[in-house]
């Protein structure tokens, strides 16, 4: 089985970290192909970044599809352009927010999300409503750190994430925590031990769910909303 894990931003060090964590949990015989576009924003922190990243993400999805991968994981917690990705893919396409929220809802009655910047809170709240998770997701919190600060050695990003997790447990009654950024993927095990609750990484959840869907012989339905795009001309400025 081959799973493409696509980081939609252009920060290669983050892609390497995401790929390493995905390979740690992948089953024997599963090949993880981690990559990012060569063009686009260095991080995705809001609607504008998402829009600017989308054409390059779709190009990477098309490339993975042409290479015959069995499933695709889009490794950004905003789940950018998931519907469009599913239209051009044959196998399952999983967003890490959707996968992570489903995983959290299966192991806890209530969970909170800890993300990076406050501007991401309404985006994730909208995703929780879209995925039917309002009852389970008690609060979306921000550690108030830029995404790329997670890549800085010796920074205080991890400590700020842990402090926000502790507040979520005390104030929200959270029984599990979902980390709201793919750049946090390497923090889960240590934070779970330190805080005493399951800390979930959406990349890991999405990879394991992708393996399950492929193993069950399931692919993306082409009967309606995710039908392949209709052929048409695309104008370009002259």
pLDDT (tens digit per residue) in 77-99: 999 999 999 999 999 999 999 99
Residue 158: predicted pLDDT: 85
pLDDT (tens digit per residue) in 176-213: 999 998 888 888 899 999 999 999 999 999 999 999 99
Residue 186: predicted pLDDT: 86
**Which CATH number is 112's domain given?**
3.40.50.12500
User: Contact 12/38 with Cβ under 8 angstroms?
Assistant: no
Q: Bridge-partner residues for 201, per DSSP?
A: 179
pTM of the model: 0.94
Are residues 50 and 10 part of one domain? yes
Tokens 């889960």: give the residue.
188
Residue 154: predicted pLDDT: 66
- Going by pLDDT thresholds of 50, 70 and 90, the confidence category of residue 9 is very high
Our CA angle for 50, 51, 52, nearest 5°, is: 90
Are residues 87 and 15 part of one domain? yes
Q: Residue 42 class from Cβ within 10 Å (0-12 exposed, 13-18 middle, 19+ buried)? A: middle
Domain that holds residue 151: 97-202
Tokens 């990243």: give the residue.
53
Examine the pLDDT at 218 and tell me if it is beyond 90.
yes
Please state the domain count of the chain: 2
* 234 within domain boundaries: no
CA distance 22 to 75: 10
* 225 within domain boundaries: no
Which DSSP helix (H) or strand (E) runs through 217? Answer: none
User: Contact 15/184 with Cβ under 8 angstroms?
Assistant: no
Residue 157: predicted pLDDT: 82
Are residues 126 and 72 part of one domain? no
Average pLDDT (120-129) is: 97
Q: Is 237 in a helix, a strand, or coil?
A: coil
* 231 within domain boundaries: no
pLDDT (tens digit per residue) in 135-161: 999 999 999 988 888 877 766 888 899
The tokens for 211 are 């393996």
pLDDT (tens digit per residue) in 27-76: 999 999 999 999 999 999 999 999 999 999 999 999 999 999 999 999 99
Are residues 193 and 211 part of one domain? no
Are residues 108 and 194 part of one domain? yes
Are residues 135 and 82 part of one domain? no
């Amino acid at each position: 089985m081959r799973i493409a894990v696509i980081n939609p931003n252009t920060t290669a060090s983050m892609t390497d970290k995401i790929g390493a964590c995905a390979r740690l949990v992948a089953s024997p015989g599963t090949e993880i192909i981690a990559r990012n576009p060569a063009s686009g924003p260095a991080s995705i922190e809001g609607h504008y970044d998402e829009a600017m990243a989308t054409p390059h993400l779709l190009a990477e999805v098309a490339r993975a599809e042409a290479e015959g991968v069995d499933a695709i994981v889009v490794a950004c917690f905003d789940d950018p352009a998931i519907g469009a990705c599913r239209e051009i893919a044959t196998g399952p396409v999983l967003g890490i927010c959707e996968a992570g929220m489903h995983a959290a809802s299966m192991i806890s009655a209530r969970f909170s999300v800890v993300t990076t910047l406050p501007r991401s809170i309404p985006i994730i709240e909208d995703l929780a409503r879209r995925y039917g998770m309002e009852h389970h997701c008690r609060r979306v919190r921000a550690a108030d750190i830029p995404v790329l600060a997670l890549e800085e050695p010796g920074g205080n990003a991890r400590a700020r994430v842990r402090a926000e997790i502790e507040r979520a447990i005390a104030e929200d009654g959270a029984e599990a925590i979902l980390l709201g950024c793919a750049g946090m993927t390497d923090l889960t095990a240590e934070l779970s031990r330190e805080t005493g609750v399951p800390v979930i990484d959406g990349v890991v959840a999405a990879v394991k769910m992708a393996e399950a869907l492929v193993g069950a012989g399931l692919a993306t339905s082409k009967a309606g909303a995710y039908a392949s795009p209709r052929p048409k001309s695309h104008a370009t400025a002259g």
